[in-house]
Structure 1
Amino acid sequence: MQIDFHHAVTYVVARLAGFAHAKAEVIAHAAQYVDDATNEGLISFDNQAMYQRIASAHKMIDYKNIQKLANHQVWIPFHFLPGNEGLAAGENPDADFRHKIVCRPNSFVAQEMVRACINDHQKPNALHRLGITMHVFADTWAHQGFSGINDRINLVEDVLDENNDPDPSLLIQVKNYFLDRFDEAQSQFVGGLLPLGHGAALSYPDRPYLKWHYTNGEGLHIERDNPKDFITAADEMCKAMRRFQLGDADAKVAGLSPESRHQLETMMREIVEENGDKRHKVWLNAIANEAFGFPAEKLRYVAKGVGSWKYQAIKDNRAKQLKHQIYSYHPSFLDSDWKHFHDALQAHRFAVIHEILPRYGISAA
């Protein structure tokens, strides 16, 4: 999924689930920031204080994508949550690891992840953790059938939309970029890049309006209906966020109302635009015009630079951190959204990799 869903739709669903604007804004910002937190490493301050952060994403054309450890620690807990073949813990102990880690929608693993988040609902970074969790939860629908490692199951063929038309642009551009600049041995990087996640399927899994189909790397024909999957994800997110507010992961709650569900699904189907940022603007305009039954809000999102969470915390407006950079420390850093987000990233990753996945016989790092 892209910024239109992870930021705007998450915000709308949070409001419909009962969160006030300020809290919904934090949840939605954290949900999108999972895709934008690409820097990692140590932050050093002028009073000798330090803070260690982790990354929750890498850029698409990034050498880290072919480092298996980076795949396991970034793509698996934050983008391609293993689905254990849709089975509960202990039901497939002899299954092939490759198939256990393929992402599946609303899997038992995903439900345990949501439960772990709700159980921590009183912590200072709870809203940030909820946003991160909602990002990963939603992606179990968008990224279903793909895995967060370099594997042949991700090598799709015959990727076509509902009219049997291909998207000829991005795959050709990526291949030509490398073939034009490197020798044959170096161009094998493409082979390491595209089998990761849904790289070979381009942005088809992330566009809300698409119906499409493909043949996966194991020769299976797969039909996908993104509008149906995305609205189901939004409905389940609404239930999860209602349970979070109650502090009860087992509470019997409703999802979206029929009217809200119809409205969101209609927008997902009718905003037919390949560019996620342009779709995002349409959703923001709708939010600003009271389209969803709650008061109008001028929602905005700044990933990096002035106005971003990072800038507010450490006054850094660079896209990439300089080596040996020393930052001025202020006590407000400890309660900043940026620190709470990175604290929540680490808590989420630890819970997924070290507590939840081992119960399913999965060792991911």
Structure 2
Amino acid sequence: MQIDGHHTLTYVVARYAGIDHYTAEKVAYSAQYVDEATNDSQIYFENGAMYDRIVSAHKMLDYRNTQELANNLVWIPFHFLPGNEGFPSSETPEGSFINRLICMPDSQVARDMLKMVAQHWERPYAAQMMGVAMHVYADTFAHQGFAGVIHDVNRVDELESTSTSLLQKVKDNLFSYAISESSPLGHGAALSFPDRPYTSWEYQNGLGKKVERDNTKIFLDAADAMCKAMQCWKSRDTSIDIDNQPGLTKDQLALIKHALLTINDESGDARHREWLKWLQEDKFELGAVDLSFDIEGQDSWKFNARGEATKIDGVFKYPYSEAFLTSDWKYFHDALKTYRLEIIRDVLPSYGICVA
């Protein structure tokens, strides 16, 4: 998904799940911030305090994508959660290990990830961690069929889509082939097709199978599953009994489907702006909402937590305030670090999957 999915769709679904605006705003901001946290440099403060952070994203064609360990620490836990071929942790699938790394929608691994996150619901970073979890959970739907490692299983051939002209499809195919040959990582070879909520597309995957994708249905399935997960959160059901949650109503699904199909600009940022406008105009029947996502500037979580840096002895240092310890930006990074540690150390190894 892109920013329209991870930010605004997540916000709408959270509200439909019964989460209040203030908390839903934090969940949605965090869900999108997973795609924005691309800097892992240490933060230094003028009083000598320090803070370490990690990255949860790289940009497409970033040179670091060629470093296998960096891929494993970013793409697997945050964007392509392994599906273990749909098997529970008590069963080991036969066949190649790479098949176990392929992302699957709402897999048993994803359910156990949510159970892990539920153990942190009483922590001060709970909303931020739910945002991280909703990003990962949503992408098990959008990124299904791809793995977060460099492998031929991610090849995309014979790519076709209803969303572009014939000329554009030819260009996309050429670019897709070039990426497949050089770095078949995740859905990079499929470009942004998995992240466009309004389109249908098909391709031949790295296993030689023909795959047909209806993104609108996939996004609706993801939204309903996310709603159920957040209903578990609201009811404090740490067992994550998703199947016994009501999920989205027919009317709510219809409103979301209308948005997914109507807001169909090829730019994720443009679609995001339109979703924000729809929220302001109360088209989702939540009351008029003035939502925003500021990654930089004085309204951003980052600036509110750190302020402006001053270069001292060649090092950028920030003014320290006790408020930093309870800032949304720090809570997000606390959640991010906790999530990555426990998914790699505990959840995946319980399935016999060791990736770092």
TM-score of the alignment, normalized to the shorter chain, above 0.5: yes
Q: 1:277-296 CA distances to partner (integer Å, 9 max, x unpaired)?
A: 11111111111111122221
The within-5 A match list for 1:144-293 is 144-162=144-162, 165=166, 167-169=169-171, 172=174, 191-193=181-183, 195-248=184-237, 249-250=240-241, 252-293=244-285
Q: How many residues align?
A: 349
Contact 2:176 2:191 in 1 (8 A): no
SS across alignment from 2:150: coil
In the alignment, what sits opposite 1:52? 52
Give, in whole Å, the separation in 2 of the partners of 1:159 and 1:167: 8
In the alignment, what sits opposite 2:298? 306
SS across alignment from 1:325: strand
Give, in whole Å, the separation in 2 of the partners of 1:192 and 1:88: 34
- Which residues of structure 1 form unaligned runs of 5+? 177-188
In the alignment, what sits opposite 2:330? 339
Contact 1:162 1:213 in 2 (8 A): no
Deviates more, 1:239-248 or 1:85-94: 85-94
Give, in whole Å, the separation in 1 of the partners of 2:320 and 2:50: 9
In the alignment, what sits opposite 1:181? none
Contact 2:176 2:189 in 1 (8 A): no
Q: 1:93-128 CA distances to partner (integer Å, 9 max, x unpaired)?
A: 554221110000000000111111122111000000
Distance 1:73 1:192, change over 3 A: farther
Give, in whole Å, the separation in 1 of the partners of 2:181 and 2:158: 17
Q: 1:152-206 CA distances to partner (integer Å, 9 max, x unpaired)?
A: 0111111101489563445656999xxxxxxxxxxxx98443x011011000000
Deviates more, 1:247-256 or 1:284-293: 247-256
Give, in whole Å, the separation in 1 of the partners of 2:180 and 2:211: 24
SS across alignment from 2:330: helix
Give, in whole Å, the separation in 2 of the partners of 1:91 and 1:268: 37
Give, in whole Å, the separation in 2 of the partners of 1:143 and 1:250: 23
Q: 1:2-29 CA distances to partner (integer Å, 9 max, x unpaired)?
A: 0011000000011111111111110000
Distance 1:9 1:294, change over 3 A: same
TM superposition outliers: structure 1 runs of 4+ over 3 Å: 162-166, 168-176, 189-193
Deviates more, 1:63-72 or 1:39-48: 39-48
2:65 aligned with 1:73, yes or no?
no
Distance 1:174 1:141, change over 3 A: closer
Give, in whole Å, the separation in 2 of the partners of 1:355 and 1:312: 33
Taking only the aligned residue pairs, the percentage that are identical comes to 46
> What amino acid maps onto 1:354 in structure 2?
R
Give, in whole Å, the separation in 2 of the partners of 1:344 and 1:235: 24
Q: 1:51-78 CA distances to partner (integer Å, 9 max, x unpaired)?
A: 1000000111211111110111000000
- Which residues of structure 2 form unaligned runs of 5+? none
Give, in whole Å, the separation in 1 of the partners of 2:68 and 2:250: 43
Following superposition, the deviation at residue 140 of structure 1 comes to 0.4
Following superposition, the deviation at residue 312 of structure 1 comes to 0.9
Give, in whole Å, the separation in 1 of the partners of 2:71 and 2:291: 32
Following superposition, the deviation at residue 41 of structure 1 comes to 2.5
SS across alignment from 1:32: helix
Q: 1:232-271 CA distances to partner (integer Å, 9 max, x unpaired)?
A: 1000100100111121123732100110011101221222
Give, in whole Å, the separation in 1 of the partners of 2:315 and 2:181: 35
Distance 1:300 1:65, change over 3 A: same
